[in-house]
Amino acid sequence: MHNQDTPASNKWIFITQVASVSLIWIMVVGIVVWVINLILLSLELHDVPGASVGISIVALPVFITLAGVLTYVFVGLQKGKRRSNTSEGD
């Protein structure tokens, strides 16, 4: 049987968590840049930016909220881990 509390497995779990938080924020920034580009392009082409604005009104808050929740959970897990490590040493 494997012991899941080894330092190597904790390191890989931490790396995976940091990667997921980083990737979702990269995705959010990419979506924001993409929507801004769509709006600017529609203005440049003298088109109505209604669809781009509609997409951004719905999509951006959803992705930002998801990224915020994931970040909040990650930070909370790290704080909980630090608290449990300091209480075990007492």
Q: Give the pLDDT confidence of 47-69 residue by residue, as tens digits.
A: 888 877 888 888 899 999 999 99
Q: What is the residue whose two structure tokens read 């209480």?
A: 87
How much is the CA Rg of the chain, to the nearest whole Å?
A: 20
Please state the domain extents for the chain. Answer: 24-82
The distance from CA 67 to its chain's CA centroid, rounded to whole angstroms, is 3
Q: Give the pLDDT confidence of 15-51 residue by residue, as tens digits.
A: 999 999 999 999 999 999 988 898 899 889 988 888 7
Q: Give the pLDDT confidence of 77-87 residue by residue, as tens digits.
A: 888 777 777 76
The Cα–Cα gap between 20 and 55 comes to 24
